[in-house]
A and B are shown apart, each in its own frame.
Chain A
Amino acid sequence: MEMLVASAIGIMTAAAVYLILRRRTFAVVLGMTMLSYAINLFLFATGRLVRGAPPVLADGVATYTDPLPQALVLTAIVIGFGMTAVVVVMALGAFVEGGDDRIDLPPGDGDGRANAGDTGGAP
């Protein structure tokens, strides 16, 4: 079982990294969603895998799985959604403003070399 979870984490991460390295916003958003899955599963797995012992107290039950990673991951899932939504709206804005959905800077944009020689010489 551990092998399955670890390989699933690895495969999802590999897919996510490949998608994040694409040049269009939507692929990057998909990659980030996949990366969130992988990381959430990883964080959850740091509590080690236990079956049939949910951290809900019941009479006569002595073993429970570690609840702390679950609490961390629960909020991480919700925040992850918020982040995805922000990125999506930013991608949308960039598409409408710029006319395409490339994520790279256009050549010459954001190039600060014009100031490189301005190191303090008298005007």
Chain B
Amino acid sequence: MKAGLPLAGVALLAALAGFSLYLAGRHAEPLAIPAGPVDATPAAIQSARFEDGEGASRSLGQFAGKVVVVNFWATWCSPCREEMPGFVKLQSKWEGRGVQFVGLAQDDAAKVAAFGRELGVNYPLWLGGTEVMDFSRRLGNHLGVLPHTVLLDGQGRVLESRIGVYPEAALDARLASATGR
């Protein structure tokens, strides 16, 4: 009986610890999840071609020398749209410090343009056909899900590839380490 009381105390403390961890988990922001292995060379990444809003051909190679944040998204994907205002803020913050965001979508050009205007997106939103999701898969997105965010260094090498919503604060910290600032 005497030994029962300390044990009950331990049980109560452990239960409280467990419950508080449960609550912490419930209220955490949705996390980005590391994507799988990358199957593309830096040269292939930099030379892949897409179209801008005016139909002109574009490639990531035009941002060589910068840390590039490639965000795969779609107008119909609500988690994508939730994280984009954070990307707009980060593009403003990191613009003069060697960082360039690019959005890539397999989507309707008019919808993308309307969404970009409405949200005041301050980075290029490029378009493509099925090659957009093929490119995303080669950059580690084996599930074919959105959003998918990839960080490239100045030579087009993949620094990080994540699926799911990338919280603004976490990406801000990641950009600081990627740029050494």
**Is A bound to B?**
no
Interface residues in chain B, defined as those with a beta carbon under 8 Å from any beta carbon in chain A: none
